[in-house]
Structure 1
């Protein structure tokens, strides 16, 4: 089921001076004899929008987990600004929802002290309106559940968003609306997505995860798409 956001609006956040996140000679592997990354160094500020692209299994989602601290480097250090607040979107977050609760109760429990009408507006910005807001989560589609999570993440007011495949269940109009909202927002953004439409609209530069390294791509996402086609012998 595809869901269209009627309105998307991310709240203003605290602007932090650079750098807000830094990798220093970071290596990581799930086993000691197989490293996904080896001696990577880079720094990030909140003005930078860099989608991560690369082959499946190249470590894109792993890099996001290293950024948040969910994973720790095998070697090296990941430094974060004391006031940096990161929120990460991924499909498995929907599993945290209580299937017997409805979206409105969930949001009011998560953010206690807010009036019901305010939470209705917050959820409505992410495509869940009317009766769907008071329908048990078990009766919502996977797409609707993911949008409850999106509303939850946005209301936490992070100053950096990590988005792992955020366009699932979104139609073209919604992807455009999401891109517009992200472009108006002043926080940092690191998307991982196979949807080149979104990346083309929000990216400042492209970072390629491949061969244990992070490489800045010399071009935009459409150039990278042409590069991928050329590698497998396809023409536009």
Structure 2
């Protein structure tokens, strides 16, 4: 049987004998239209930052437990009794018919929505890069800004402003405002008093404690209160908001928020530098806006990337570039897409959402241990080494917050007989040295340089 392939180029239609394979032999430049990995567009994502206490990339860093959610006025729940987990190695495709609750699931996971029942948990330092279904959702109020100016606005004060706008971080309802008027007794002999703000955080065994500023009390009377106690007393949003601040500050410490660096970052995701610097967002095409949003989501080195219909607006070449970037990236990925070729090539795990329920296919085992410090981060050390090396030459954002990561009992150094180190042990040793150097650079002037105790190992 004779086969014909048609090809349009420069507004002219040509016919070639044979199937697609035969055609590509005549027109190699057309291969990218049929094979995602042969795209002519190059995209590269910055590696995720270190996530304290996550030793294995299969450990759960975010999870939903028995979550039920109903939109106001809806006759039945959009999602009912849904449970799932994500790790740094996750590659998940969320599938299902339109209106099944796929986007609702993503919004609950990223804290854009608050569940009616159940819990949504994440590692305190976890950063999530979120790309919504409609790119205009992110940039609709910034049409007069260039892409470069938009990124400066979003991260100017050391936080991701879009995270702070999430519903789960707002203290808005009458019930929550009344909670802020509640008096708390932490059994320190000073009696019950009202919380004004959280102003600091440090390690406490395998969790955290927070520095609390009290209403009507001078700063010298600030107190350290454990995470568990604050959550027990109902101040979960206050804790989550400060966790987001610390996670964002940590992620932004590796690069300077200046036009030249931002331009290079945009070029890394396939957006021309001249367009990023000089063209207002309101004049960009849908595909270009998607690249702006991708760059914005990846600026603070997230650990999880969540994409809601990433194939919208992107042409074939850009879609291929995105596929390669996702495949190479070392963080976790969750995506909603109706493009079966795209998700099939990237996501071995599937969450099927239908009629308010969710089932998993191709499930990869995830360690469901509680989010806590287990003394290292061997899986991510290689990915983070380049960022840490670069960070040593930059001014550290939020340097007045002293890191207490080395306070963990797991990091206490013990003298022992020298032995030949494995390759992974050498990588970990180098990473610890880099982190100590970064902390020393951010400490007050005159602080003695730390002694390299790794030589004793």
TM-score range, shorter chain: 0.7 to 0.9
Give the drift of 1:111: 4.4
Instruction: Tell me the residue number matched to 1:131.
Output: 274
Give the drift of 1:52: 0.3
Q: Which runs of 5 or more residues in structure 1 are unaligned?
A: 220-236
Match of 1:66 among 96, 108, 113: 108
User: What is the rounded CA distance, in whole Å, between the counterparts of 2:68 and 2:154 in structure 1?
Assistant: 36
Give the drift of 1:135: 1.4
Contact 2:281 2:289 in 1 (8 A): yes
User: What is the rounded CA distance, in whole Å, between the counterparts of 1:94 and 1:76 in structure 2?
Assistant: 28
TM-score by length of 2: 0.44
Instruction: Tell me the residue number matched to 1:12.
Output: 47
Find the residue that maps to 1:131 and give its secondary structure.
Answer: helix
Q: Which digits, 9 at most, give the CA deviation of each residue in 1:13-43, with x for residues without a partner?
A: 1353521112222111114741122212222
Q: Which runs of 5 or more residues in structure 2 are unaligned?
A: 1-38, 157-255, 364-457
Tell me whether 1:172 sits opposite 2:316 in the alignment: yes
User: What is the rounded CA distance, in whole Å, between the counterparts of 2:110 and 2:70 in structure 1?
Assistant: 16
Distance 1:130 1:48, change over 3 A: closer
User: What is the rounded CA distance, in whole Å, between the counterparts of 1:87 and 1:5 in structure 2?
Assistant: 25
Q: Which digits, 9 at most, give the CA deviation of each residue in 1:99-129, with x for residues without a partner?
A: 2221222233444543322221111222321
Find the residue that maps to 1:11 and give its secondary structure.
Answer: coil
Give the drift of 1:64: 0.5
User: What is the rounded CA distance, in whole Å, between the counterparts of 2:42 and 2:137 in structure 1?
Assistant: 22
Contact 1:40 1:214 in 2 (8 A): yes
Contact 2:264 2:273 in 1 (8 A): no
User: What is the rounded CA distance, in whole Å, between the counterparts of 2:341 and 2:268 in structure 1?
Assistant: 21
User: What is the rounded CA distance, in whole Å, between the counterparts of 2:40 and 2:282 in structure 1?
Assistant: 21
Instruction: Tell me the residue number matched to 1:193.
Output: 337
Following superposition of structure 1 onto structure 2, how do residues 14-93 of structure 1 map, counting pairs within 5 Å? 14-15=50-51, 16=54, 17=56, 18-31=59-72, 33-90=75-132, 91=134, 92-93=136-137
Bigger relative CO (Cα 8 Å, ≥ 6 apart): 1
Bigger-Rg structure (1/2): 2
TM-score by length of 1: 0.82
How many residues matched? Answer: 216
Contact 1:89 1:153 in 2 (8 A): yes
Contact 2:45 2:268 in 1 (8 A): no
Distance 1:125 1:217, change over 3 A: same
